[in-house]
Copies of this chain bind each other. A is one copy, B any other.
């Protein structure tokens, strides 16, 4: 399958089925695991990764598309963001989706003895072999890991070690405490509530994290479960700005950053939740004394395109 001729034969034989496998076989002794294999697969139109017995534990993460995981005699249909865990000794195969092609990242590993507490150890020795979904954090961690493998920069081994530690912890948490989001939020809020000035701190932090999606100031009070008039009062006392003025200023600052990075005025307006480009431009001009386009010209064109880490 190296040249055009062989690819054609392949296509003739399999119809549209295709399969790419970028495998890294390091046999690395890391601080918490022996790493057997890591990599990513892209496969389409029902391609089958045929049945094999696992020589080590494996975590698979569906980056996009869908597939079916067969484990012994069970089958699990997986979609974007799903995680599948299987232990050494079990038999499995994977069949890529028919329409939306599969992109999957995975690691094969053995836990090092005594590197982990018994909760996590017993999970990976005998995982439930079913799916959990974690679209955001697990994806980031696998992106980081594959980035380290591909780029092979200095200290790549130490960084891979750290990524894998985080993946093992995160996947265990997702399976053991599936609905952790709410618990996590409560613990987090309780910790912040002990600090001085926490009400305004939480509001500033919330606004900074959600500036794109905040439509009205009442959303801030609602999200943080404060009385709106109480929040408005302490916010103004503490910062000297009203909540609505503060949010508007922050939206303009975000808009300026997006525009400097080369985003169009239309997309910037949509991203920041303005009803139209016109209403964004009007607000921008009122605040900055010039239109977004004039602002960009003044700033000397777009910044260098920000680095986009590929998984």
Contacts and interface: CB of A to CB of B under 8 A. Distances in A.
Given A159-B165, A169-B155, A309-B136, A16 B187 contact: no
Contacts of A206: 310
B234 A120 contact: no
B311 A200 contact: no
Interface stretch (A3-11, A124-132, A291-299): A3-11
A173 B158 CA distance: 13
A136 B305 CA distance: 12
Interface stretch (A68-76, A87-95, A235-243): A235-243
| Interface of A (DSSP majority class) | helix
Contacts of A289: none
Interface residues of A, number: 91
A210 interface: yes
B306 A136 contact: yes
Interface string A105-124: 00000000000010110000
Nearest to A167: B162
Nearest to A188: B150
A171 to B, nearest CB: 11
A20 B201 contact: yes
Nearest to A266: B270
Nearest to A307: B181
Interface of A: 1-2, 4, 7-8, 10-11, 15-16, 18, 20-22, 31, 40, 42, 44-45, 63-65, 80, 99-101, 103, 117, 119-120, 135-137, 140, 144, 150-155, 158-159, 161-163, 165-166, 169-170, 172-173, 177, 180-181, 184, 187-188, 191-192, 195-198, 200-201, 204-206, 208-210, 233-234, 237-241, 249, 253, 257, 266-267, 270-271, 306-311
A153 to B, nearest CB: 6
A233 B159 CA distance: 39
A231 to B, nearest CB: 12
